[in-house]
Amino acid sequence: MSTQHDDADDDVENPPLEDRLYTVKYSDSGESHLDVTIPGICAEKCTTYACQEVCPADVWEVPDGDEPPHIAYENCLECGSCRWACSHGNVEWEYPETGNGVSYKFG
Amino acid sequence: MNEDWNIVVCVKQVPDADDVTIDPETGRLNRSDAPAVLNSPDANAIEAALELRERVGGGRVTAITMGPPPASAVLEVAVALGADDGVLLTDRAFGGSDTWPTSLALAREAEELDADVVICGEESTDSSTGQVPPGIAAHNEWAQLTYVEELEPRPEDDELIARRDVEGGYERVGAELPVVVAVGFGENDPRTGGLHRKIYAETEFEPDTVDATDLGIEDEVGLANSPTKVGGMDTADPVARENEILESTDELTERIEEAM
Amino acid sequence: MSDVNVDDYDDVWVFVEQHAGTVAPVSWELLAEGRRLADEKDEALVALVIGEDVEEIAADAIARGADRALVADDPVFEPYRADPYGAQFRAVVEDRKPDVVLIGGTHTGRDFAGRVAVPTMAGLTADCTELDVDDEGLLLARRPTFEGDAMATIKCPDHRPQMATVRAGVYEPAEREDGQAVGDDPAEREGAIEFVDVVVDEPDTVSRVLEREVGTVADITDADVLVAAGGGCDGDVAPVQELADVLDGELAASRKAVDEGWVEPSRQVGQTGKTVRPDLYVACGISGAVQHLEGMNDSATVIAINDDPNAPIFEHADHGIVGDLFDVVPELTAQLRDGDDRRVIDA
Amino acid sequence: MTDEANYDGAFDAIVVGAGLAGTAAALTMARRDLDVLVIERGTAPGTKNVFGGVMYTPTLRELVDVEDAPTERYVAEKRYGILSDDGDETAVTMRPQAWNDAPHNDSFTVIRRRFDEWFAEQAVDAGATLVTETTVTDLLKENGTIVGVQTDRPNGAIEAPVVVLAEGANSLVSEGADLKRTDDRKDVAVAVKEVRKFDRDVIEERFRLSGDAGAAYHYFGDGAVGDTVGGGYIYPNKRTISIGVAYRIEDAATRNRSPEDVLNDFKHHPAIAPLVRGGNMVEYSAHAIPEGGVDAMPDLVHDGAVIAGDAAGMVLNNGIHLEGTNMAIESGYHAGDAVADAIEQGRTNARALAPYEENVRNSFVVENLEHYDFFHELIADDRDFLFEDLPRALADAQREYFRMDKTSKDEHVSRAKARMLDATGGWFGAAKKAWKYRKVLS
């Protein structure tokens, strides 16, 4: 699906994800609230990497080779898309505990 | 019979440092829409106070704070974590106080509470002078222990031993009671408050309130009695960096050699 | 609240901090800045030394530019304790009425400064990074607040003395040029050393030092070169340590590397660690969280090595390379080592 | 001093989540003198809630004085644009004068962080108890009846005769306790949003607004969200603009276009770029929107518990209408009302709480969901026509219809008609489509 609107007005700012995540207020509980139920499934069975595809914040990163996905839980915006997207139901998804995680200032 | 220690922990409400923004045009600091929260180093002070009470085997932990009425929220945080009580020092007369009158008010209240140990955070994120704890000790002429990593109570000798962080090493220093302690930022892992305790703290708990007259210092506080005045506040311009991204390690080696 | 007559207060004092005869480097840095301020104010620069058998240090201070030295010499002051130091310092201040008092912002300076400022109702500004005097000779003390995002200028118009604790590493130290001192005509550089009455004795003290271990733990705040290990090291900091050795710098670390137990806490740089100002800071596998940047942003040159091109550290670095630190760092170490050999041959 | 509290600790009801449904329920119960405990996982109500940008307030108006609520602008203009990915836009704009007078068609743009906190304060003022920074991790059950909740704090269990599950789209507690099935990824949309800060007059000039008037722009077609089913939106606030896209997680998972790319491309479309250029970004956010409609709705009533708001899938998205806020508040109100009645009768099993489900089914909440229930399958299998062919056909037909040359108007009309019929598959195709979409307009 090609996008023909590269000639659009140039001062539409689309900052890199790093700057976008920098605008989100976040408190780190120190441990990940996300995990994979059975690592083996990702390595052997998964070919679609849906978790990586749907994530708006690059939390999931599927390495080549056979380790489970790398989870940058500090980026998580708590939308939950990965838990629905994974066709193997292999995403362990919990809320960050006791008030940690994102704190939206607008929402 | 173990002596119960009266432990007072000083806490402060500050604008959340994450939300203090700098207006790009005027360069002025914008604290208005930053929510007021507990000064983060004070979380280590509360934890140290609760641990001390547990190690002494008894005694009371009373949180005190100086500020406008909404500041009682940080007393609720302390009570929710396990402090027994809280006292709010609030009075229009306190307005504009710098370290000198602030530490005076806290010192007088600590005396009122017959404190054996006063515990503070290392500094506050909004003024970060780190001078209030030594100020309290000086006003009361009590012993003090700053940059503390660990506390070792010796109730039988009325002494508190602390491991202090000093440049290039550490010290173990014993201090006679009463003593004022400043706990190093990040030196312990604050506990999570119990659910029922937090509900009690945020609903039924009411702090006592004390004003300048109660402490007998009504004409020793406020702007007039503050030696230091803020002459100006502007944004710190970030250090200019070249941001050069190199392709090969030998170019990087050259840059390293140049910087030596 | 007694009104102070500011005109009764003169001279710029610099506190020379020493432990068992070893002077803290920041004291000589403040002596240099003190000299400049004293000349601006056309007043004397006085060194204040508290300790045991410290006359030699007082002489050193004069050789480095102080006009006079005041010395409180007694066993009660060794090792350092806040209450005796505070009481003695206060007594001398109340007696001699200095206008400006500069103290190094070390854990010692920031520990006892309050015990001087409170009883004398002096204006104390902590952790300054810039000093100046305005045209009426009023001290302008500038310091960072809000995690370094803002700079506040603090004044002390109606109270004296004007006290400030100042961060280490801001100024170049005042040097001794073989017996002569900075600035003044070298020949007459003797200046009086005066021993003041000691007002403290042991029974008055309320604290005792049981143990003091200094020098066993790295003091990364003093190092000129720091090579820092971050989360990207995944447990193996050996290559980073080797690079530090070849640069004869010190190993430093981000909070993640310390929390994971790969590096000892005393080497942590950042909000809950140390603030450093080396000439060269090499960040290996460090993403660049704001809490870390706050501790190393004053480094002269920052080099960043990270495999994520978007890592914020690159925005705060002078030179960087995107790559796996386990490849890049050993290569740098090797090239620098060959470079040393080459230099040895050429010398 | 030990860890147990010395407050009496007995609550009539526990509400999980201080979002719109949870707070509406808590406010309603508090006003009927129930002892209500609201447990919010965020540091304050609103910190964990993200939405498009427009709050619909018909039920809110019955609970509080909307004039006191922290709103940004009232919606004075609705605009629907169809975007082709060649850069064309065909749009319909409505600015009924009546919307400029209160109650402004009960449509306001709001900032959830401020609104939710204010709304929760009304419940607290009415007597509810709010505890924050606490996450409910499970339900407490005694032989099948729900008797309380477990939280992630020490000594974290607490009991009450009824639990109102208003946990939002990620209804982990309801799913964990098997009160509802986890939705299929075809029935959930991922939404990403950007809030940009502007000077107030820039916004008012750019969107032709004055005073507190605002607007709600919605966009569809491949030019908006690419090869997926979904849409984009722009909602001007006082000094910020909300810009976002939402589309099915199914498509995000299979069309290898990340939500961030879809948002970036939406912003670059020639019809969108002039409205969003400049300013500075102050927040990037993401959220999930349940779109399973009435089929995906779980049982709303259980022994000792009810489910309300997004957690019950109560969001209407049929392209034209994107409504969740009104449904959340309405369902919260009905939940609170039914729980209060049940408590007063002293019985809180599913039968005693049944009026909640009846009232919600008889309200606009479920009626609208049922009315547009067909819409989902329709959209899915007619996607290419609606999102790819129609936008382009409309653009081409307009060009023909409004062409300025020396041929006759008849010429233009017939060419425009031909282009449309070509897209719909002739007269017969057009009739079939009209029949299929009759419910949209009827």
- What ipTM goes with this model? 0.85
Q: Give contacts of C 163-192 with B, CB under 8 A.
A: none
Q: Residue A68 above 60 pLDDT?
A: yes
Provide the residue ranges of all domains of chain B, joining segments of one domain with +: 5-259
Query: D403 pLDDT exceeds 80?
Result: yes
Rg, C-alpha atoms of chain C: 23
Q: What is the pLDDT of residues B193-217, one digit of tens each?
A: 999 999 999 999 999 999 999 999 9
Q: Which domain-ending residue is among C175, C204, C233? A: C204
In a domain, C209, yes or no: no
Interface of B with A (CB under 8 A): 18-19, 33, 192
Q: Does C5 touch chain A (CB under 8 A)?
A: no
The pLDDT mean for chain B works out to 91
- Nearest CA distance, D146 vs chain A (angstrom): 21
Q: Indicate the SS3 state at residue B136.
A: helix
Residue type, D221: G
Looking at the structure, give the CATH architecture of the domain made up of residues A31-92: 2-Layer Sandwich (3.30)
Residue % of chain B over a pLDDT of 70: 96
The residue assigned the tokens 């489509």 is D433
Residues of B in Cβ contact (< 8 Å) with C210: 161, 172-174
Neighbours of D184 (CB within 10 A): 12
D188 interfacial to chain A (CB closer than 8 Å):
yes
**B2 pLDDT band (50/70/90 cuts)?**
low
Among C residues 222-251, those touching chain B with beta carbons less than 8 Å apart: 222, 225, 247
Beta strands C123-128 and C162-166 are: parallel
Q: Are strands C150-155 and B143-154 parallel, antiparallel or unpaired?
A: unpaired
The answer to whether C312 faces chain B, any CB pair under 8 Å, is: no
More confident residue, C173 or B191: B191
B200/D6 CB distance under 8 A:
yes
What is the rounded average pLDDT of the residues D389-411? Answer: 89
Residue A4 confidence (pLDDT) = 42
CA atoms in the 13 A half-sphere facing the CB of D144 = 4
**For residues C11 and C68, what is the distance between their CA atoms, to the nearest angstrom?**
10
Distance of residue D7 Cα from the nearest chain B Cα, in angstroms? 6
Q: What's the pLDDT at A10?
A: 66
Q: Are residues C200 and C241 in the same domain?
A: no
A73-85: burial string, b at 16+ Cβ within 10 Å, e else: bebbbbbbbbbbb
Domain count, chain C: 2
Q: Which residues of C touch A17 (CB under 8 A)?
A: 310
Domain-wise residue ranges, chain A: 31-92
Of the two residues C340 and C143, the one the predictor is more confident about is C143
Tokens of D225: 């969200």
Report if residue C216 sits inside a domain: no
Q: In terms of domains, do C142 and C109 share one? A: yes
Q: At what angle do helices D364-371 and D350-362 cross, to 10 degrees?
A: 60
Determine the average pLDDT of the residues in C310-314.
84
Residues C54 and C169 in one domain: yes
pLDDT, tens digit, 9 for 90 and up, residues D184-229: 999 999 999 999 999 999 999 999 999 999 999 999 988 999 888 8
Domain end among C142, C174, C204: C204
The DSSP annotation for B44-62 comes to: HHHHHHHHHHHHHT-EEEE
| pLDDT tens digits, one per residue of B92-128 | 999 989 999 999 999 999 999 999 999 999 988 877 7
Q: In chain A, which ranges are continuous DSSP H helix? A: 17-22, 39-40, 50-54, 81-85
What pLDDT does residue D442 have? Answer: 62
At A18 the pLDDT is 82
Q: Domain check: are C36 and C146 in the same one?
A: yes
Note whether D146 and D139 are within 8 A (CB): yes
Q: Report the alpha-carbon distance of residue B86 to residue A48 in Å, rounded.
A: 56
Report yes or no: A105 at the B interface, CB cutoff 8 Å.
yes
Closest CA to D113 of D46, D42, D19, D197: D46
**Distance from C-alpha of D299 to C-alpha of D311, rounded to nearest angstrom:** 11
Q: Tell me the shortest Cα–Cα distance from A29 to chain D, in angstroms.
A: 12
Residue D161, pLDDT > 90, answer yes
**Token pair in block for residue C210:** 């049981």
Check A107 against D172: CB less than 8 A apart: no
CA distance linking residue C206 with residue C82, whole number of Å: 9
Domain end marker among C174, C204, C234: C204
Average pLDDT, chain C: 88
Domain that holds residue C289: 225-346
What sign does the CA torsion over A62, A68, A70, A76 have? positive
Beta-strand runs (E) in D88-223: 89-94, 107-110, 129-131, 136-142, 145-151, 157-159, 162-165, 188-197, 213-220
> Can the peptide bond before residue C79 be classed as cis, meaning omega within 30 degrees of 0?
yes
Q: Quick one: C250 and C340 in the same domain?
A: yes
| Contacting B residues, span 89-148, partner chain C, CB-CB under 8 Å | 98-100, 103, 125-131, 133-135, 137-139, 142-147
Paired sense of beta strands C18-19 and C22-23, if any? antiparallel
Domain B5-259: give its CATH code: 3.40.50.620
**Residue C116: closest CA among chain B residues belongs to which residue?**
B138
Give D168-183 pLDDT, tens digit per residue: 999 999 999 999 999 9
Predicted pLDDT of residue A1 = 37
By Cβ distance, the residue of A25, A97, A98 closest to B18 is A25
Burial label, D2 (beta-carbon count in 10 A; 0-12, 13-18, 19+): exposed
Is C196 contained in some domain?
yes
Interface of D with B (CB under 8 A): 1, 3-7, 9, 37, 44, 129-131, 134, 151, 153-158, 280
Distances in Å between the alpha carbon of D365 and those of B34, D252, D359, D437?
37, 28, 10, 21
Q: Which domains does chain D have, with CATH numbers?
A: 13-65+111-182+293-362 (3.50.50.60), 185-290 (3.30.9.90), 378-441 (no CATH)
Statement: residue D375 has pLDDT above 80: no
Tell me the CATH number at C252. Answer: 3.40.50.1220
| Interchain proximity A98–B192, CB inside 8 Å | yes
Pairing of strands C10-16, C18-19: unpaired
Distance CA D181, CA D171 (A): 10
C173 plus C237 within the same structural domain: no
Separation of alpha carbons C294 and C283, rounded Å:
14
